[in-house]
Amino acid sequence: MASDLGFHWGMLNDHDRNAAYRAAIRDAAPGRIVYDLGAGVGPMSYYALRAGARRVYGFEVDPDVLPYLRRLARAYSNFVPVWTDALAGRLPEERPDVLVCEMWSTWLTDWPMVRVLRRVLRRAPGARVIPARGYHVVQLVQARHRAGMPIRLTPGTEATVFGEPFATGDMSLPVVACVTDFRGRIRPVDTVVALAPLTAGTVNAVRLYSYEEVSPGHVLPRIGTRCDELLRWLPPLRVHPGRRVRLRIRHRWDAGLRITVV
């Protein structure tokens, strides 16, 4: 079976994202030990090597991309591919000065970024983390479908969506529910957010998405490979302008996302 590099191809072609990470790595990597967590085909490792890192460890478990990392290792003697699950596998003896953890998802639900960072930071508490922060956003929506069948969306279920879902209508302005700072202790989320409906109607879902602050003050816009979102269905709720809807959001990063209307 042929290797599927479609996702990696999209990442390689996201110019603004790559430029932001390259600049942050160029500032942090010279003379340092770098861990690239989720190296893919190796662009972040390459940026660190070109910036003058002392050594770069590229962690990856996807067998489809191993030939690309082997090629990078042949070109740079200070690049070390690490074929392991960074959550449970053996870590290198050298502790990192810089951690690059560029593989993102909405609210960090589809990839164990936070758990990996916690594990590595226990060994290297002073390491610089790229990206620096994540901003996690929630919005009331009305989710519809055009299949022509009498299906009712079950509260609590969810769907990950790439690109704008045309059958989803905004029912409130988006609100930043929480911020994760990857440079310190990453705590569980337990917060209440008030959202102001824009119009009267029925809300049956929330839209969740994230922004990544690659380096302090440099937050990437939500385009290209950064436009994925998570739809979580709620029990249908009638809303009116001026009557705020309060949501309690709980997220332990390793045990799922819980959203309730309070």
> Is-contact 207 230, C-beta < 8 A?
yes
78-85: list long-range contacts, CB under 8 Å, 24+ apart.
78/49, 78/53, 78/54, 79/45, 79/49, 79/55, 80/55, 80/56, 81/39, 82/57, 82/58, 84/59, 85/61
State residue 7's pLDDT score. 76
State residue 50's pLDDT score. 98
Name, in order, each residue with C-beta under 8 angstroms of 187's C-beta and a sequence gap of 6 or more. none
Fold of 133-261: Hnrnp arginine n-methyltransferase1 (2.70.160)
Which pTM does this prediction carry?
0.91
Cα–Cα distance measured from residue 251 to residue 103, given in angstroms and rounded to the nearest whole number: 19
Establish whether the linkage from the previous residue to 131 is cis, with ω within 30° of 0: yes
Name, in order, each residue with C-beta under 8 angstroms of 213's C-beta and a sequence gap of 6 or more. 131, 132, 133, 134, 135, 219, 220
Cα–Cα distance measured from residue 140 to residue 70, given in angstroms and rounded to the nearest whole number: 46
How confident is the prediction along the chain (262 residues), in pLDDT tens digits per residue? 566 777 788 888 889 999 999 999 999 999 999 999 999 999 999 999 999 999 999 999 988 899 999 999 999 999 999 999 888 999 999 999 999 998 777 888 877 888 899 899 999 999 999 999 999 999 999 988 878 888 888 888 988 887 665 678 999 999 999 999 988 888 889 999 999 999 999 999 999 999 999 999 999 988 877 788 899 999 999 999 989 999 999 998 767 789 999 9
Q: Looking at the chain, which residues constitute the CATH 3.40.50.150 domain(s)?
A: 6-103
State residue 164's pLDDT score. 63
State residue 1's pLDDT score. 55
State residue 126's pLDDT score. 92
The helix, strand and coil proportions of the chain, stated in percent and rounded to the nearest 5, come to 25, 35, 40
Name, in order, each residue with C-beta under 8 angstroms of 19's C-beta and a sequence gap of 6 or more. none
Q: Looking at the chain, which residues constitute the CATH 2.70.160.11 domain(s)?
A: 133-261
Class of domain 6-103: alpha beta
Residue 218's beta-bridge partner residues?
215
